[in-house]
A = this chain, B = another copy of it.
Amino acid sequence: QERVENKTPLVNESLKTFLNTENGRLVAGLVAEFLQFFNLDFTLAVFRPETNTFTGLDGRDNLARELGIHEGDDLKGVPLLLEVIKNGQQKEKGTCPSDG
């Protein structure tokens, strides 16, 4: 049912461009951290070559620092992406402090 059309080029230009941006690397790092967190080793084994990010992505500690997430006890048991989303949701819910 799925049509294979317009096969992916050997170099994924849009991803390459994305990974050259700071936030792009952050996003890819968070995806890799999610995969590592849940030991999705088979997916990682394909993700790394397909994205050409064998060693280049930040690890959990660096990602947390860049995102301003503080690794407390609460955070040990969750992938960073969950924390990122929760932060966004807090904002949605209007818990953003007003400037007064």
Contacts and interface: CB of A to CB of B under 8 A. Distances in A.
Interface in A31-79: 31, 34-35, 38-43, 45-47, 50-51, 67-68, 79
Interface of A: 8, 12, 14-15, 18, 23-24, 26-28, 30-31, 34-35, 38-43, 45-47, 50-51, 67-68, 79, 81-82, 84-92, 94, 96-97, 99
Contact of A84 (B47, B51, B88): B88
Contact of A40 (B51, B89, B96): B51
A91 B27 CA distance: 17
B41 A43 contact: no
Contacts of A23: 82, 85-86, 89
